[in-house]
Structure 1
């Protein structure tokens, strides 16, 4: 043993056991994520400039998470994904999936600059039903693109079989309640596909799946379900139920005229069963942003975002 130690150039009493990587990174955040502590946003109150934030971040995510986050070169976008990792307890696989599906861009698409900054600062802010929506929802984990054809029941079954992935795509605070929820009116039974409860909004969320393009009668059907839930299922202390129609396609003008006069909160979003290429998705997002910026003019009616 002494012969071996005599050939070691560092004296034994100077040898140190290194800390774990996250522990070392807590003391060298500036070197690891220089963009995180930059002043490009010129807002000293942002959470990711606080040492306590670094300690929370590096104690709760793994080295493989860090590798993926380093690749996100936009400060605001990276902060959004960091906070979603912490608050939603994403695995590395889920983090990669959400980055590849451009979750940040989809969530922030119709929000103004201040709202997007707040989104990155505090995670996904949920104070209204509009803010739980994503468009499109990316459902590539269902592997339905491998089938020649599938039905609405196939889609529902696949979502149930991949419930954890689907709830990650829906966002935080969704709690699964039931599938094929039955409504009985006038001696007849009606069913909608999925029922959730949202903790932050404190309301029921009804989701109905449609294979093709949105049709205006889908809105009336969902409004019927929501009226029943409000009168017979929701508790007195809860907010009014919210409905989401997931369709393969939709026309914004048709959605507007089908939902404009409804008292209930009813939304229409698209879904994709295969993740498109990054360039295709970027082009889709650009077209969607251009559409929103044009602020559809429906006569004297105030513009709505879909």
Structure 2
């Protein structure tokens, strides 16, 4: 007797087959698109190289690129992507990247020379092989957004990698460059990229939180504490709640204060997170746990518990998963990055300083807040 090892349900068989075939088609289309994009980049690089050699140092006069674009469109009806502006972008593309990509001994093309459209695919670059692979996967229009929006080479590479890894569209890429995300990315040790599945929301979260905060409205002298080491979490919490408007202005935009020592309950266990906020931009609850000492891994486990209960019992259906921030006095960033990645809820660790910890000479040099208000 032969036993059929495949499911008897035909619909299920068809569904499995369609899924496997669809995956193969999409994978093939993606690879084809990557190859086409690489060919186009190499073409644009070659054209940009040719235009640069003949317009910068050659005999072309003002208006030459415009005239060439118009003739191209007449001789190749329906041709798109070769306007005067795009031809100038191709020149920029070549001129900005050739010092990084090309060997210096390559001869520039003359007017009658044939354009090498495979140069970018075959050149032995001084850049890392992995970097060049990522470089070739980014669309030309994305490259132009980066080249026209960012001048620093290291940041350009960072935006290329981020745009490819997280599939940013041009609009979002422009926003990240305008907000200088290259500097902010990675500043706050967190697991946002791996736990917030929408990449735009992940980078909003990265941009929302700093890695360090100056709580200059907390003055130990005013609250009767001489030794900074004697200050505890409750004192910091009390001063933050008392100065909640100032804290929110320090913390960031679009935060609404929900409460402190917010009561959470699960399986007859009571929990009281220090501070709870809602952020309109991120559309999620944000819980802040205050610690006056150095960072400890156990703080993340405590925060994980709060986030699970908040998501299960407090979060509204239309809201995004809650975010947790540990705010402590000191933290080794590399150590935090090392231990935080195993947690499945979005969390970050920031540090803070209070007014009394600033050097006396610096505090004396800073203008008084009330005097500033009068001046303004």
> What TM-score does the superposition give when structure 2 sets the normalisation length?
0.41
Larger radius of gyration: 2
